[in-house]
Structure 1
Amino acid sequence: MTMPADPQDETLTERQQAVLDAVLALMVEQGGELTMNAVARRASCSKESLYKWFGDRDGLLTATVRWQASKVRAGNYDRTKLDALALRDSLTRFATNWLGVISSPTSIALNRFAIAQAETGGGKLGAIMLANGRFAIGARLKPVLDAGREAGLIAFDDTETAFRSFIGLVGRDVQIRLLLGDTLVLTPADIERDAARATEQFLALYGRANPMPASQKTNA
């Protein structure tokens, strides 16, 4: 079975995607204190359209976080024919996408605003980001890890623990440094290098030295 593309891309029109990009741009500029009026002006659409498409402000923020998180993917793969090369490629693609997203100005702005809201006890952005960001991304990668285990390529007892290990190897201290204002700059080449290195480290920790051939696994 080939894993499908993220349904988020299929449910949003190009016009709606442009609106969400406008929200992200405003959050970078204004630190998250955006209004439906400001979004309507930036996106050149009516407030009525915003309410029709996304509901209230929380609905708009939810869609924005999901849109940002949808950029993190492991790529398509055939679960019934997964081999070591395909697994490494899927993990590296996911790591590259995720590292690129969390180091972007838009992601930094979203996280800073969510942290500020959580500290004051106001707003729902933190919960929105957990549900549609971190947890949704985890749900996207865990099937890859489970498929790798089923294929005898990697071994672990708990998928969540394996996922956290991989994320830790990929992200290291990058996100916290950026959130605290470090001028760390990651070029596309840096991101690709770090993603490949994290994948190799993860496979060194969880990979099986002599994975079972598919024919033996079938007959086992």
Structure 2
Amino acid sequence: MPVAIKVSEETFTPRQQAVLTAALDLLVENGDGLTMTAVARRASCSKETLYKWFGDRDGLLTATVQWQAAKVRMPVVDRSHLSARTLRLSIEQFARDLLTVIVGEVSVTLNRTAVTHAAQEKDSLGLIVLENGPLAIRRRLKPILEAGRDARLLRFESSEDAYRTFFGLVVRDVQIRLLLGDKALTQSNIEANIEVDVKAATDQFFTLFGAKASNA
């Protein structure tokens, strides 16, 4: 099982960020076989420091996934003064971060490796990625959706169902096509269309769950 670490999910020191970036780079280059020795060498630090910060290899992997997932920022809203405009901007920003991170080479490699490990029951990387990636990202947005519902700007019965719909609208089939190596889907083409895709997904989400649309 993943080892709990004391480092905050979204707050790492600059030195820790450099170590976690080195670990991500190694995952992209090698796709597997990440070791404390290799990370220490790449990040120019001692293994003792890695063990002190992260506990063990699973702890390092957990922090690495958390660092990557933290790039999808949690929207900051004032629940007592939430307007339709600020809610929409917050959800749009979240969608932009989500799509940008998911289509990146790091996330694609990390997910491919995690799926392979899970299929082989090789180690706990699959569970680490699931808990600290997709599920952690989900937990960041659901309170914002619920705040929108409390302010009567959104209407839905389940924030879980609303989030799943939102995720599907934003990501569509892009992630699975990248994971399967669809050559027709180039990185430059995806990145060039992120803004258009994000705005379209946000429009569709508010069409489905916006309070005015629900009352029409």
Residue 123 of structure 1 pairs with residue 123 of structure 2: yes
Number of aligned residue pairs: 205
1:189 offset after TM fit, Å?
A: 4.1
Q: Which runs of 5+ in 2 are unaligned?
A: 1-7
Task: Say which SS state the counterpart of residue 76 (structure 2) adopts.
Answer: coil
1:15 offset after TM fit, Å?
A: 0.4
Q: Which runs of 5+ in 1 are unaligned?
A: 1-6, 213-220
1:20 offset after TM fit, Å?
A: 0.3
1:54 offset after TM fit, Å?
A: 0.6
Counterpart of 1:198, as a letter, is A
Q: Name the TM-score, length of structure 2 as normaliser.
A: 0.91
With over 3 angstroms needed to count, the CA separation of the structure-2 counterparts of 1:193 and 1:74, relative to structure 1, is farther
1:182 offset after TM fit, Å?
A: 1.8
Q: Which residue of 2 aligns with 1:3?
A: none
CA deviation map 1:44-83 (0-9, x unaligned): 1111111111111000000000001111024321111111
Residue 106 of structure 1 pairs with residue 109 of structure 2: no
1:134 offset after TM fit, Å?
A: 1.1
Distance in 1 (CA, whole Å) between partners of 2:95 and 2:181 is 23
Distance in 1 (CA, whole Å) between partners of 2:190 and 2:118 is 31
Distance in 2 (CA, whole Å) between partners of 1:27 and 1:165 is 30
Counterpart of 1:95, as a letter, is A
Q: Which residue of 2 aligns with 1:155?
A: 155
Q: Name the TM-score, length of structure 1 as normaliser.
A: 0.89
Counterpart of 2:211, as a letter, is R
Task: Say which SS state the counterpart of residue 209 (structure 1) adopts.
Answer: helix
Distance in 2 (CA, whole Å) between partners of 1:118 and 1:33 is 15
Residue 51 of structure 1 pairs with residue 51 of structure 2: yes
Q: Which residue of 1 aligns with 2:71?
A: 71
Distance in 1 (CA, whole Å) between partners of 2:42 and 2:83 is 47
Residue 173 of structure 1 pairs with residue 173 of structure 2: yes
Counterpart of 1:35, as a letter, is T
Distance in 1 (CA, whole Å) between partners of 2:67 and 2:17 is 8
Q: How much is the aligned-residue C-alpha RMSD, in angstroms?
A: 1.6
CA deviation map 1:97-121 (0-9, x unaligned): 0100010010011101100001111
1:8 offset after TM fit, Å?
A: 3.3
Identity, % of aligned positions: 56
Q: Which residue of 2 aligns with 1:19?
A: 19
